[in-house]
Amino acid sequence: MNIREMQRSSIKGLKAYDPELLANYRYKVDANENGYDVPPLARKKILKEMKKVFFNRYPDPGAVKLKGILAKKNSVSPGSIVIGNGSDELIHYLLQAFTDPGDIIAAPAPSFDMYSILALANGATPVMVPLDDNFDLDEAATLKAVNGAKFIFLAYPNNPTGNCFSRGKILKIIKAAQGFVVLDEAYFEFSGKTFLPLLKKHKNLIILRTFSKAFSLASMRVGYMMADPEVISIINKVRLPYNVNVVSQACAAVMAQTAIAPVVKKILTEREKLYSALKKDYPVVKSDANFLLIKVNDGNYAKKMFEKSGISIRMFKDGRLKDFLRLTIGTPDENRAALAILKRGV
Ligand code: PMP
């Protein structure tokens, strides 16, 4: 048997996702996680919750408690929410539930890689629309691409560029699209900007959020979707019955009720300090998120210098992002270490 030939034809050209993390790092500023772990009081509450867990039983398949907390927090009904094993899983479910082979999935480029990877994994056809010179949406090209597309995915703020696209352009896209417009607000707590209030008015709008960034729970894999209840019930047809484990549900419930504003504020203050320190020496994109996209002089040399200092960073190799690196805003220690390398010149 030729196993290679057996795979779904749309994924034949795909490589397995490799985040290229540096092994044995001292500082980890490569994956847009929160450099600060959950605060001590929240950790205590989580451990207390752990004492109540029945490890022998399946978790609540509907994550009713967590959904209730999130519904209240976001002023939507529990029926408008579904919880995922990370928001990645929810992107997968959306494509699985709503696309047929060959359907067009639009997304800007550069943006989050999983949109095109999961489109291909589900037999759909990704159509990438290049962002303009300011990494904002190219309005005409995007409107053209959404015409006939089943989905457009817009990360807001965008990853890896860090900026929020123009609100006016997105509004035009929501109105023009015949398919769904997914606003992936993974970094919402840093930007403070959201399309959530428009959810009731536009049936084709879908909002994604995650606990992996501002809520310090990347390890637990919890994301959620807010959409029209009909979208949610269709997603529930393809969702694996126990997709979010009991520990993750409990951790997310605690963190959803924990004040994260102080940590967010610390990260934003550090981001602005770094931005000011770097923009004299490098092109840096103004960021609405917890990371900065920086163009260095020589990407390979920069990668070596970071590695030598034990700093794991995200470096881009090809196309428009060649010689760009993405620096997650971490703790002051992590930021100082990264800044020292950049100040030496790379
Ligand atoms: N969307 C965007 C824009 C992201 O940057 C990320 C994480 N890198 C995700 C979604 C996925 O987040 P998670 O699966 O951890 O919820």
What is the 185 CA–ligand 1 centroid distance (Å)? 9
E-assigned strands of the chain?
27-29, 81-84, 104-109, 125-130, 151-155, 180-184, 205-210, 223-226, 291-295, 311-315, 324-328
Report how far residue 271's alpha carbon sits from residue 70's, in angstroms, rounded to the nearest whole number: 28
Nearest CA to ligand 1 atom 2: 186
Contact 190, 157 (CB under 8 A): yes
Atom of ligand 1 nearest to the CA of 87: 16
pLDDT band of 281, cuts 50, 70, 90? very high
Measured distance CA(90)–CA(168) in Å, rounded: 26
- If one residue of 210, 219, 293 were mutated to test the ligand 1 pocket, choosing by the most ligand atoms within 8 A of its CB, it would be 210
Looking at the fold, whether 20 and 135 belong to one and the same domain comes out as: no
Residues 251 and 270 in one domain: no
Give per-residue pLDDT as tens, 139-167: 999 999 999 999 999 999 999 999 999 99
Say which CATH number the domain at 157 has. Answer: 3.40.640.10
CB atoms within 10 A of CB 2: 5
Q: How far is the CA of 188 from the centre of ligand 1 (A)?
A: 11
Structural domain harbouring 15: 3-30+260-343
What is the pLDDT confidence band of residue 20, given thresholds at 50, 70 and 90? confident
Question: What secondary structure letter does DSSP report for 2?
Answer: -
Please report whether residue 35 resides in a domain.
Answer: no
Question: Is residue 202 a part of any domain in this protein?
Answer: yes
Query: How many structural domains compose the chain?
Result: 2
Q: Is residue 237 scored above 90 in pLDDT?
A: yes
CA of 257 to the centre of ligand 1 (A): 21
Atom of ligand 1 nearest to the CA of 221: 15
Percent of the chain clearing pLDDT 90 (strictly above): 97
What per-residue confidence (pLDDT) applies to 175?
97
pLDDT confidence bin for 259, thresholds 50/70/90? very high
β-pair partners for 83: 224
Quote the ligand 1 centre to 268 CA distance (angstroms): 19
Nearest-angstrom CA–CA distance, 106 and 125: 8
What is the CA angle 136-137-139, rounded to 5? 135
Are 49 and 232 contacting, i.e. CB atoms less than 8 angstroms apart? no
pLDDT in tens, 285-309: 999 999 999 999 999 999 999 999 9
- Same domain for 81 and 58: yes
Distance in Å, CA 179 to ligand 1 centroid: 22
- Mean residue pLDDT of the chain comes to 97
pLDDT class for 28, splitting at 50, 70, 90? Answer: very high
Helix (H) or strand (E) holding 264: helix 261-279
**Domain identity same for 107 and 242:** yes
Query: Of the candidates 215, 232, 256, which is a domain's last residue?
Result: 256
Residue 197 lies in a domain: yes
Q: Is residue 198 part of a domain?
A: yes
> Pocket residues for ligand 1 (CB within 6 Å)?
32, 86-88, 112, 155, 159, 184, 186, 210, 212, 223
Domain boundary among 256, 283, 314: 256
Query: Same domain for 214 and 299?
Result: no
Decide if pLDDT at 120 tops 90: yes
State the DSSP H helix or E strand holding residue 126, giving kind and residue range, or none if neither. Answer: strand 125-130
Amino acid at 9: S
Distance 88 CA to ligand 1 centre (A): 6
Residue 186 C-alpha to ligand 1 middle, in angstroms?
A: 6
Cβ-Cβ contacts under 8 Å for 17 (sequence gap 6 or more): 113, 114, 117
- Helix or strand (DSSP H, E) at 84: strand 81-84
Q: Evaluate if residue 56 carries a pLDDT over 90.
A: yes
Residues 19 and 51 in one domain: no
Top mutation candidate among 87, 89, 194, 287 for ligand 1, by most atoms within 8 Å of CB: 87
| Rounded Cα–Cα distance for residues 283 and 342 (Å) | 12
What does the pLDDT read at residue 23? Answer: 83
Is a pLDDT exceeding 80 seen at residue 238? yes
Let me know if residue 112 belongs to a domain: yes
Instruction: Report d(CA 99, CA 92) in Å as an integer.
Output: 10
* Ligand 1 nearest-atom number relative to CA 84: 16
Longest CA–CA separation in the chain, Å: 58
Q: What angle do CA 227, 233, 235 make, to 5 degrees?
A: 80
Residue nearest to atom 12 of ligand 1 (CA): 87
Specify the pTM: 0.97
